[in-house]
Structure 1
Amino acid sequence: MKTVDQEPDPRFTLANERTYLTWLSTSLALSAGGVAMAAVSADVFVPWMRTLLAVVLVALSALSAAMAYPRWRRVQRALRRSAPLPPPAIAPVLGYGVATVAVLALILILLSR
C-alpha cells in the first residue's frame, strides 16, 4: 500500500522543530555539565570519578545531538503520512544516564563531607 504524503498542519511542523531544538539545547547543557565536572577542583571528587562523570555527560551530549535530526525527520515523515508518531528512543538513555550521573555525584558529595 502506497502512502500519500501531505503537508501537515504548520503548528505540528513547528512543534516538531521546537522539539528538535530542545534536543539540541539539552545536548549543549549536557556538554556544559561535562566540562564543568571536568573543571571541578581535585579536592572535591577523586580525579578518576570526576573524569568518568565528565565523560558520561559529554557522551550523552553527543548522543543527544546525533539523534536529534533523525528523530525530527521520522516525526516529520509520520506527520506527512498521518501515521502514529515514533517513540523517542533516546529519551530513556538520557534519562537513566543523567540520573546515574546525579546519583553518583550526590554520593560523592555526601562522602566528601
Structure 2
Amino acid sequence: MGRGKVEVKQIENKISRQVTFSKRRSGLRKKAHEISVLCDAQVAFIVFNNKGKLFEFSSESSMKIILERYERHAHEAQLDGANNESQGNLSLDCFKLKNKVEVLERNLRYIF
C-alpha cells in the first residue's frame, strides 16, 4: 500500500505544526547528508523556524566554505548575464546599422 496524497497547506494546530517541522527538518538533514556522501556533493542546508531559530547542516567542515563558493558562483552568473545582455544589445545595434547602410546604398544608386 502506498501513502495517500498530502495536501500542502499550513497546519493550523501549532503543536502539530512544530512536530511536523521537527520531523521534516530531520528528514531533510538526512537527505542532505545522503546526497553529500553518495554523490560526493557539497551540500549546505539552512532552515529558520517561525521564531527565527537557525538549523543548519554542512557537508564540509565549515558552512563558510560552501557559502563563499555559492557567492562566487552567483557573482559570476550575474556577470555572465550582464555580458550576454550587452552582447545582445550590440548584436541589435549591428543589425540596425547594417540595415541603415543598405538603405543608404540603395539611395546612392538612385542618386547617381
TM range, smaller chain = 0.3 to 0.5
- The structure richer in strand per residue is 2
TM-score by length of 1: 0.32
TM-score normalised by structure 2 residue count: 0.32
Larger Rg: 2
Quick check: which one's helix share is greater? 1
